[in-house]
Chain A
Amino acid sequence: MSEPDLAAILERYRGEVAPGSDGDRIMRGRLSTGILDTTEENVRRNRLSAEEIDDLLTYLGWNLWDQLAARATEGESGLIPRQEYETITFVQEWHRFPLFIEELTRSLGVDGVIDLGATPRREIGNKVNHLRIWASAVCPLIGRGIALALGIGEPWDRIGEVNTLLQFMRRLHHGFWGGGPGFASARGYQAAVLDDSWIKRFCDEETRLETTDAMATFRRFNGATELLGFLLHFDNRAGLCDTGPYPLPDGGFMIVRDHFLNEPAYWWSDAVAGLPHAVTQAMFFRPSDDIRVTINDIGTTFAQPRDYLKHLSGVAVYARDTWDTPVSAVRRLEAEEMRAIERAASTATIELYRRIAGLSRRDRIMAGVHVYLREMMMPFARQAGVWDHFVKDLQFDEIAPLTAQAYYPLVNGSAMQILPPLFMLGDGFVKFGERACW
């Protein structure tokens, strides 16, 4: 792809559609159904129509570009072969997640799935969040696109499984948002879903950052825990998620940020022993200048101007010690414990880095597959009480034969060729059109 072509594609989806809310309006104008909105009726249907499925695929192609096209230019990692493990995991998810979703839905019922999606409204420090809700369908669908690019399967195959993926995501979205548009991109990139009781608690427990030292202490804490969240989860965003912005009673706004620091599901987690499962930062901003803050469907905050942290004026910070610590036992962190966590996070970062650097390329790839696969289903399954069943009885971690077929080309150069067009051109979201066999 030439540089002018790449620039045009990064600027507009397929060279045509703007990013942001302007692009959302254009894309919604191209849909033939109203399926982008969740309703009590349409999330309870077992079957979406072929037109509804194609509308969702159409929108998701733009939605993915809007969030991640620029990231697709990030190039290689000198440490973790992320494009290789992502692509393998996406293909695995395409082949196996419909089964796990059907099991989950049988176990919880539709109302239970909707209630599962509502978890982020009532809890902090929980990996059931809108990043994973979005990923529950989008990641396997990217896998479908990769498989097709590798010649595995046909575009008209498995419309039932695509239906399963999309309807699961939609049910979770219905619980998360309470109905209406299912994507932050269709809601002006605002994801202020936490119950008012949490907002009140954060406001009551705010600590103003009134000295240079206090500000520096918090920024080191924020940076160190975010960095560890990335490294522990092998350089993807499973280790963090933001919601907001929440308007403050006295003006300004709040962002609520989870960093996940300790996950017992991974064999390298002894490096983070003693750290809480999650820390949550309620960050208070009282800007003196105009600033626009957005939070996207994968829980990442962007701002214009970019350095939003210079407007930070107060914080309230919490820890959830294990993934199943009752939310009532979430505890507030004082400065001394924050400093201790920051030091421990920095130490753990070096330790993990050394370990990862000492692995073979194949072991790094397979560790990345392990974490990326588990992160997109385990939080749902754990909360639903079926995770052990998935692992022991349904061989959750075992690689499907068709994934194994994709493995060799993906680790030998194809990943870096295949993934950018999927992100940049929507090539992964192949519509069924007249070939839909229902």
Chain B
Amino acid sequence: MTDHNGYRQIGQGLNAFEAEPVEGRVRWLDSPEDVLDFVTRDDVAETIVISRGGTTTFMAPALSAGARGLITLQGAPESHLGIVSREFGIPCVMSVAFTEGVQTARGETVPADGTLVRLDVSTSPAGFVLVPGSP
């Protein structure tokens, strides 16, 4: 496992583009209603959102509202969401496999809502999802 300078890795995926790391609290968005509800919140710009798929339109309002970062459980940087995230300059790590967290309604593992994470998107092809603390 890569040394992350005082952070512990909880997920690794494909980095859509290289950028400075960003930190924020995560929120899992499982439905269009979740997305529409999210963009009315006061903490959009501080939130890293997580979705299942790598298509663009599901996350469109979150992109438009300026979420801090994007994580997906499926998809590649060549997916539409990877392409649009680059155009917005919003860091995006795709096809992340999490090693810890809570279970979604479909049994996937994602960090609990509100978990503070750091997206290390400084290199490609891998991007990392980290939490504060040593391994």
Which residues of A are in contact with B by a Cβ distance under 8 Å? 68, 70-71, 73-80, 82, 219, 222-224, 226-227, 230-231, 234-235, 237, 300, 302, 305-307, 309, 346, 349-350, 353-354, 356-357
Contact = CB atoms under 8 A, between A and B. Distances in A.
A135 B65 CA distance: 33
B78 A70 contact: yes
Contacts of A71: 76, 78-80
Contacts of A75: 52-55, 72-75
A231 B57 contact: yes
Contacts of B19: 307
Given A71-B80, A223-B63, A307-B86, A76 B56 contact: no
A19 to B, nearest CB: 11
B60 A76 contact: no
Contacts of B95: 73
Nearest to A301: B83
B3 interface: no
A293 to B, nearest CB: 13
Contacts of B128: none
A239 B3 CA distance: 42
A302 B56 CA distance: 17
B99 interface: no
Contacts of A230: 56-57, 60, 80, 84
A349 B87 contact: no
Given A74-B74, A227-B63, A305-B124, A353 B36 contact: yes
B32 interface: yes
Interface of B: 16-19, 29-33, 35-36, 39, 51-58, 60-61, 63-64, 72-81, 83-84, 86-89, 95, 124
B36 A302 contact: no
Given A71-B76, A227-B63, A309 B55 contact: no
A231 B18 contact: no
A364 B58 CA distance: 13
Contacts of B83: 300
B32 A78 contact: yes
B35 to A, nearest CB: 8
A230 B57 CA distance: 7
A356 B58 CA distance: 10
A235 B57 contact: yes
Contacts of B29: 78
B55 A82 contact: yes
A222 B90 CA distance: 13
B54 to A, nearest CB: 4
B60 A231 contact: yes
Contact of A223 (B52, B53, B87): B87
Pick the most buried of B17, B73, B77, B81: most chain A CB atoms within 10 A of its CB: B17
Contact of A74 (B18, B55, B89): B55
Contact of B18 (A222, A307, A354, A357): A307
A350 B57 contact: no
B16 A306 contact: yes
B93 to A, nearest CB: 13
A289 to B, nearest CB: 12
Contacts of B33: 357
Q: Which residue, B77, B80, B95, has most C-beta atoms of chain A within 10 A? A: B80
A353 B56 CA distance: 12
21 contacts: A70-B76, A70-B77, A71-B79, A74-B54, A75-B72, A75-B74, A75-B75, A76-B52, A76-B53, A78-B35, A80-B55, A80-B58, A219-B87, A223-B84, A223-B87, A231-B60, A305-B17, A305-B124, A307-B86, A307-B89, A346-B64
A353 B61 contact: yes
Contacts of B61: 349-350, 353
Given A230-B80, A306-B16, A350-B39, A73 B64 contact: no
Given A307-B18, A349-B64, A78 B58 contact: yes
A306 B15 CA distance: 10
Nearest to A67: B78
A277 B29 CA distance: 32
Nearest to A220: B88
Contacts of A235: 55-57, 80
Contact of B53 (A78, A306, A353): A78
A264 to B, nearest CB: 21
Nearest to A346: B64
Given A79-B32, A219-B87, 15 more contacts: A70-B77, A71-B78, A73-B75, A74-B81, A76-B53, A78-B51, A79-B55, A79-B60, A82-B55, A227-B88, A230-B84, A231-B56, A302-B78, A306-B86, A349-B64
A307 B17 contact: yes
Nearest to B54: A74
Contacts of B124: 305-306
